[in-house]
């Protein structure tokens, strides 16, 4: 999986004209469809000019992709390739998480799918616990690490009556408390060595409540939990874990947007809407952005001065040139934000974010 540092390096790349080819392959079967996709795009590129034209750039890049796949056949998983023969660049990234097939031609790499993957695969500590055993493992960038196992010997409740039952329950509560402390200790050690975004807990309600009660505040705010009968097998457990993870991610996105919205309403350093965010991105003033993942604004790039303009325009507002082509503006915003060391966060649609144009940014100044 691509790292944030690699994503930042990709954002630094740019080429003359539309000389970059970005290819995303969902799996081995996608390779067979590439020739048809390449042919469809080649027909739409201008060619035959006196200078090197977009079709020539494209043909060189396609040749590089075909040569790479010949020497490195895709046997499993997903893959993305960024190629610009004009700059002697070919970057290949095998991916453990699935991506959709996509081919893009532009002056910069098409990094949006990677940015969404990077954001969507936060590091989580997953706790699967009942009164007899707890498994804790770390899921980072779609990959699962080895499990840490903690044994519990918490006896069932009994109905004896009188002092005997009270002594039994006190002893049982003490054992449950000690068991919860061991689980919290393991989570603390994990958080000390890794940056944990979420703690996802499923299993016995009693055990999970004891763990939550003994967590320090810094860990408790990361936790989401759901009581699940662990005896029903892995499928319902995995479904519960994924549902909780999506819930936690949505809550995190909403919190980040609420922070930007509050700063904006207070007249602080924040902007909303694609036009203002693009303008601030070009000035390298953005600290972080929050984006509705369904946000797909279009714009135009000038072939003469490379300026990007939001929306469809007949000529370049900067130099007056009539030669422009359509691009996805959001990829341009991402490039500039990452290039200047900013961060991007994605979220599901939120009413106030939609009303703000689908995107908002916190500024450095």
Kindly write down the DSSP assignment for every residue of 256-315, as one continuous string: HHHHHHHHHHTT-SEEESHHHHHHHHHTT-EEEEEEETT---EEEEETTT--EEES--SS
Whether pLDDT at 131 is above 90: no
Mean pLDDT, the chain, whole residue set: 87
Beta-strand ranges (E) seen in 40-95 are 78-84, 89-95
User: Residue 294 half-sphere exposure, CB side, CA atoms within 13 Å?
Assistant: 7
Whether pLDDT at 37 is above 90: yes
Question: 11, exposed or middle or buried, with CB in 10 Å at 0-12, 13-18, 19+?
Answer: buried
pLDDT recorded at residue 180:
92
pLDDT recorded at residue 34:
95
pLDDT band (50, 70, 90) for residue 143: low
For the residues 263-290, what does the mean pLDDT come to? Answer: 93
Question: 150, exposed or middle or buried, with CB in 10 Å at 0-12, 13-18, 19+?
Answer: middle
pTM greater than 0.75 (yes/no):
no
pLDDT band (50, 70, 90) for residue 158: very low
> Domains in the chain, start-ordered, CATH in brackets?
1-120 (3.30.960.10), 122-232 (3.30.420.60), 253-365 (3.30.1330.30)
- Paired tokens of 266: 């207070």
No. of helices (H) and no. of strands (E), the chain: 11, 17
Q: Taken in order 28, 90, 307, 361, is the CA torsion positive or negative?
A: positive
Whether pLDDT at 280 is above 50: yes
pLDDT recorded at residue 278:
87
Whether pLDDT at 227 is above 50: yes
Whether pLDDT at 162 is above 60: no
């Amino acid at each position: 999986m691509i790292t944030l540092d690699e994503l930042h390096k990709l954002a630094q790349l740019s080429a003359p004209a539309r000389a970059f080819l970005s290819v995303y392959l969902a799996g081995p079967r996608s390779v067979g469809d590439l020739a048809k996709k390449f042919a469809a795009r080649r027909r739409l590129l201008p060619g035959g000019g006196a200078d090197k034209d977009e079709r020539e750039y494209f043909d060189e890049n396609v040749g590089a992709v075909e040569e790479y796949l010949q020497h490195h056949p895709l046997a499993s998983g997903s893959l993305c390739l960024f190629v610009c023969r004009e700059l002697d660049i070919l970057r290949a990234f095998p991916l453990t998480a699935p991506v959709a097939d996509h081919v893009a031609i532009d002056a910069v790499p098409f990094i949006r799918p990677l940015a969404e993957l990077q954001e969507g695969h936060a590091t989580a500590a997953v706790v699967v616990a009942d009164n007899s055993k707890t498994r804790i493992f770390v899921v980072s960038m779609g990959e699962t690490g080895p499990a840490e196992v903690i044994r519990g010997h918490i006896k069932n409740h009994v109905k004896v009556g009188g002092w005997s039952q009270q002594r039994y329950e006190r002893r049982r509560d003490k054992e449950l408390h000690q068991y919860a402390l061991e689980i919290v200790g393991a989570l603390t050690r994990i958080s000390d060595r890794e940056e944990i975004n979420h703690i996802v807990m499923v299993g016995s309600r009693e055990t999970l409540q004891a763990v939550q009660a003994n967590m320090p505040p810094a860990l408790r705010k990361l936790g989401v939990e759901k009581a699940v009968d662990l005896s029903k097998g892995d499928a319902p457990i995995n479904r519960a874990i994924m549902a909780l993870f999506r819930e936690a991610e949505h809550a995190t996105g909403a919190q980040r947007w609420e922070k930007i919205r509050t700063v904006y309403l207070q007249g602080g350093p924040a902007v909303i809407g694609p036009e203002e965010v693009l303008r601030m991105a070009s000035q390298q003033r953005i600290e972080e952005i929050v984006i509705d993942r369904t946000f797909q604004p279009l714009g135009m790039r000038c072939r003469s001065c490379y300026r990007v303009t939001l929306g469809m325009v007949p000529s370049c507002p900067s130099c007056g040139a009539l030669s422009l082509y359509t691009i996805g503006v959001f990829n341009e915003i991402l490039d500039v934000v990452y290039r200047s060391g900013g961060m991007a966060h994605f979220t599901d649609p939120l009413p106030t974010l939609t009303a703000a144009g689908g995107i908002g940014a916190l500024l450095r100044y």
